[in-house]
Amino acid sequence: MPTLSRLAVIPRHIGKIKVLVLLAALSPVAGLGIDYYRDNLGFDPLDRITRSSGLVSLVLLLATLTITPLRHLLTGLMTRIHATHGKRLSDWNWLVKLRRTIGLLAFFYAAVHLLIYFWLDQGGSIEDVMLDLRERAFLAVGMLAFVMLVPLALTANNYMMARLGRNWRRLHRSVYLIAILSVAHFWMLTKVGVFAPLPYMFILTALLGWRLWYSWIPHARKMIDEGMEIPERAAGVYPVAQHENINKNPRREP
């Protein structure tokens, strides 16, 4: 399969791919900007920009969670079709590199979302925000999600990865909780009779289900362990001791 083998060159172009992802993810903001100048934001423009920024943040957040299962899925798929490339998890490590970009973009949109709320909805009054947080529980839940995203964004760099070692992964696992809080935020703000958060809830449930299966069932873990994802390695930071044994046992090709 010559076409498929071309996949092997992707990692070399990771820089360009990151730029593409960045541009794609920034297009909603650009779209809102254009609509703003064309006076095309609809009849309730504040609601429109608040909601779009929140929704994009949630979508990107969920996208970061799909990276790991996606690597497993692609590895399985390539193995099944006997592709020349892509049968090892490590062939898909470049996807892990995209995860940081996507995660930071999710944070960026959450910050825009919060700023829109703070400046335009609440007129920049911290006092009013505090009152509002007490009045409307969905805001407190959204705020908690945002506050929890801050340390993740601050440590999404090679330096912090190396410094935190194994604690980095522990810290970043909180993204699952953040995603749960975000979907809860969405449900809580959705009016009776509307089910807009449903698809996001399904996707999150599937991702959480996969994660639980992956980390709790010993045999499943063993099957996958050989190519266990090492974000530190993917990011180019060399692994801490606990991962050494994995590197010594690269998956053998059949």
Partner 1 sequence: MLRLGEKISAAEITPEAVYLERRRFMLGGAALALSALSGLGHAGCEHGNIPASSEPLTDIDAATHHNNYYEFSTDKKSVSRLAKDFNPRPWTVAVSGEVRKPKTYDIDELTRLVHPEERIYRLRCVEGWSMVVPWLGIPLCEVLRRADPTGKAKFVEFVSIKKPESMPGQRYASLSWPYTEGLRIDEAMHPLTMLVFGMYGKPLPNQNGAPLRLVVPWKYGFKSIKAIAQIRLVENQPLTSWSRSAPREYGFYANVNPAVAHPRWSQRRETRLGELSKRDTLPFNGYAEQVAPLYQGMDLVANF
CB nearer ligand HEM, residue 98 or residue 189: 189
CA-to-CA distance for 193 and 142, rounded, in angstroms? Answer: 22
Report the partner that residue 45 touches, choosing among ligand HEM, partner 1, none (CB closer than 5 to 8 A by kind): partner 1
Is residue 148 close enough to count as binding partner 1 by CB under 8 A? no
Which ranges of the chain does DSSP label H, i.e. alpha helix?
2-5, 14-37, 45-80, 93-116, 126-135, 137-154, 158-164, 166-172, 175-189, 198-216, 218-225, 231-234, 244-248
The beta strands (E) that lie in the chain are given as none
Which residues make Cβ contacts (< 8 Å) with residue 114, sequence separation at least 6? 143, 146
Least spacing, CB of residue 78 vs partner 1, in Å? 41
CA-to-CA distance for 214 and 205, rounded, in angstroms? Answer: 14
Q: Where do we find the tokens 């993204």? A: 175
DSSP one-letter code for 252: P
Is residue 50 close enough to count as binding ligand HEM by CB under 6 A? yes
Tell me the residue type at 180: I
From residue 34 to residue 73, what is the string marking binding to partner 1 with x (rule CB under 8 A)? -------xxxxxxx--------------------------
From residue 86 to residue 125, what is the string marking binding to ligand HEM with x (rule CB under 6 A)? ------------------------x--xx--x--------
Which residues make Cβ contacts (< 8 Å) with residue 89, sequence separation at least 6? 71, 72, 75, 224, 226, 227, 228, 229, 251
Residue 96 has, within 13 A of its CA and on its CB side, a CA count of 19
Residue from the set 18, 51, 85, 251 that interacts with ligand HEM by CB under 6 A:
51
Residue from the set 2, 123, 218, 254 that interacts with partner 1 by CB under 8 A:
123
Is residue 182 close enough to count as binding ligand HEM by CB under 6 A? yes
The stretch among 9-17, 79-87, 130-138, 178-186 that binds partner 1 (CB under 8 A) is 130-138
Query: Are 22 and 101 within 8 A, CB to CB?
Result: yes
Please, what is the angle between helix 198-216 and helix 218-225, to 10°? Answer: 90
Least spacing, CB of residue 157 vs partner 1, in Å? 35
The stretch among 104-112, 132-140, 143-151, 217-225 that binds partner 1 (CB under 8 A) is 132-140
Is residue 207 close enough to count as binding partner 1 by CB under 8 A? no
CA proximity to 120, closest of 57, 46, 54: 46
Is residue 32 close enough to count as binding ligand HEM by CB under 6 A? no
- Binding residues (CB under 6 A) for ligand HEM: these are 47, 50-51, 54-55, 57-58, 61, 110, 113-114, 117, 139, 142-143, 145-146, 149, 182, 185-186, 189, 196
- Binding residues (CB under 8 A) for partner 1: these are 41-47, 120-121, 123, 128, 131-132, 135-138, 188-189, 191-194
